[in-house]
Amino acid sequence: MSDSPAGRLRRRVIDPLKALFVGRDEVVDLIALAVVAGEHLFLFGPPGTAKSLLVRRFAVAVRCHYFEYLLTRFSEPNEIFGPVDLVRLREGVVATVTTGMLPEAEFAFLDELFNANSAILNNLLTVLNERVYRRGAETHELPLMSVFAASNHLPEDDALLALYDRFLLRCRVDPLPRPQLPALLTAGWAIERDGTVDVLSADAPTAEDLRELGRQTKAVQLDGVLDVYTDVITKVRDMGVALSDRRAVKVLKLVAASAVMCGRTAANISDLWVLRYVWDRAEQIGPLAALVAGILDAGPADAPHPRAALPEQVDPEELARELEQIGEELTPGLKLVDLARLRERVQSVADRAAWVGDSAARAHLTTRAATLTEKLG
């Protein structure tokens, strides 16, 4: 596998980026998965967590054309898709100057995605769905592999839900916890001191290599996981995740891409790790991860994807004590700000509980966290 496109992707791009960006292994793996599957990734979290820099470095490493833009409510389509060609317009032809704009990009990053106004929204939906940009009578077939987007809030406007729905993968990116701060500060200071150095390698995979990996996903055998997958989809829907039939089919592309990245031609149970990232709301992240962890506990699999492993060992007794303390602090007459603080603590515990190795303890903690969340309103 080491000389295959998948092997070179891991050795020359994924591993160096993980070494460079402290604590962001999850995001790096998801960027790679999105590109191989030909799907889009939404990153949810505050500014300053290296979201755009990670995508940009990945695009540079695989020598892809990259476009990045920060959306505001006043952004116009010309700023993203390119202005009208005034020379051609004088000739009576409406044409777009796309040089350096999104229609020429293979990777695109849209920051503050949900600031998109209606003028941009309709064009983006077509771009995400069909890889096509239309303006008047002209039609541009786009080389776009994946769009990456970020926001520190989730959409509430119904008009934006259709846009959110096009991002099959969703990942929350939080500031690094205290134990990782020393490594972050050391790496960050080295970049500030010495400047940024792009991860480049002569034998790194190219855009065409990535497209070849995407073609390989279509040949992956899924028969071995379809029964379990069907059962999990039902349970995910029972949790309240809005996983439509269309999205359920598309998630199989992620399962297949996971297998390809592991050098396999058949999917196995370990590839179902991708289901952790199909949530709609932040409060679903922990319970969904716990559900998937239970599926992955079913047994070992050949050549599992690294993301299939539990990312950390968590002390269930410590989490139980924290939930007990939160319950004691939940008294009548609390101010809204205090309720919000307790909700955040419960959510944090629920997220960590998803990685508890013992399935019974994990289920108990998840249920207890859900009960407290309901009481907090």
Cα-flanking dihedrals φ and ψ of residue 70, to 5°?
-95, 115
pLDDT at 2: 60
The CA distances from residue 105 to 47, 59, 71, 72, 99, in Å, are 24, 10, 17, 20, 9
Do 62 and 139 belong together in one domain? yes
The CA distances from residue 42 to 37, 64, 111, in Å, are 14, 19, 10
Q: What does the mean pLDDT of the chain come to?
A: 87
Do 167 and 23 belong together in one domain? yes
pLDDT at 135: 81
Average pLDDT over residues 136-158: 91
Q: Is 24 exposed, middle or buried (0-12, 13-18, 19+ CB in 10 A)?
A: buried
Average pLDDT over residues 258-271: 95
Do 300 and 328 belong together in one domain? no
Q: Rounded to two decimals, what is the model's pTM?
A: 0.83
Structure tokens belonging to residue 250: 């598309």
Residue 110 has pLDDT above 70, yes or no: yes
pLDDT at 1: 59
Do 222 and 338 belong together in one domain? no
Residue 312 has pLDDT above 60, yes or no: no
Q: Considering the domain boundaries, does residue 204 fall inside one?
A: no
Answer yes or no: are the C-beta atoms of 61 and 198 closer than 8 Å: yes
Average pLDDT over residues 202-223: 92
Answer yes or no: are the C-beta atoms of 101 and 82 closer than 8 Å: yes
Among the candidates 178, 194, 210, a domain finishes at: 194
pLDDT tier for residue 205 given thresholds of 50, 70 and 90: confident
Q: Considering the domain boundaries, does residue 162 fall inside one?
A: yes
Domain CATH number, residue 123: 3.40.50.300
Answer yes or no: are the C-beta atoms of 260 and 213 closer than 8 Å: yes
pLDDT tier for residue 197 given thresholds of 50, 70 and 90: low
pLDDT at 367: 85
Decide which of 40 and 297 is more confident.
Answer: 40
| Domain limits for position 151 | 5-194
Average pLDDT over residues 354-364: 75
Residue 275 has pLDDT above 60, yes or no: yes
Decide which of 181 and 228 is more confident.
Answer: 228
Do 331 and 267 belong together in one domain? no
What is the C-alpha to C-alpha distance for residues 69 and 148, in angstroms, rounded to an integer? 11
Residue 83 has pLDDT above 90, yes or no: no
What is the C-alpha to C-alpha distance for residues 293 and 92, in angstroms, rounded to an integer? 60
Residue 93 has pLDDT above 80, yes or no: no
Among the candidates 194, 227, 245, a domain finishes at: 194
Q: Considering the domain boundaries, does residue 69 fall inside one?
A: yes
Decide which of 152 and 347 is more confident.
Answer: 152
